[in-house]
Amino acid sequence: MTKGFNSDLSVRGKKYHIQTEDWGTQNPFIVSRIFCNGAVLKTIKISHDDALRGGPVNDKEAIGLALRRQHNQIMDDLLSGALV
């Protein structure tokens, strides 16, 4: 199972790094951070319950899909100007 995703993105001349990771069943959150020049600009932390919308929270495939969905949504929001 994928523990996380990392992406680099240029938006309006600025370079961002997006990191999204699953903190596991002991600390059930999917956490994304947006970096610019090494500094954290924003942290987005969503519980497994919220990310899976009432589905099975121990399903590794469902958590992996939620992880990818959150990571991709943050990239889309950055590109559209909705974040940062």
Q: What is the pLDDT of residues 31-63, one digit of tens each?
A: 999 999 999 999 999 999 899 886 666 688 889
Residue 16 has pLDDT above 80, yes or no: yes
Residue 4 has pLDDT above 90, yes or no: yes
Residue 54 burial by Cβ neighbours in a 10 Å radius (0-12, 13-18, 19+)? exposed
- pTM (whole model) above 0.95: no
* Strand order across the beta sheet in which 14-22 lies: 4-11, 14-22, 29-36, 39-47
28: Cβ–Cβ under 8 A, 6 or more apart, which residues?
A: 47, 48, 49, 57
Average confidence score pLDDT of the chain: 91
Look at residue 63 and give its three-state secondary structure: helix
Euclidean distance between CA atoms 64 and 83, whole angstroms: 23
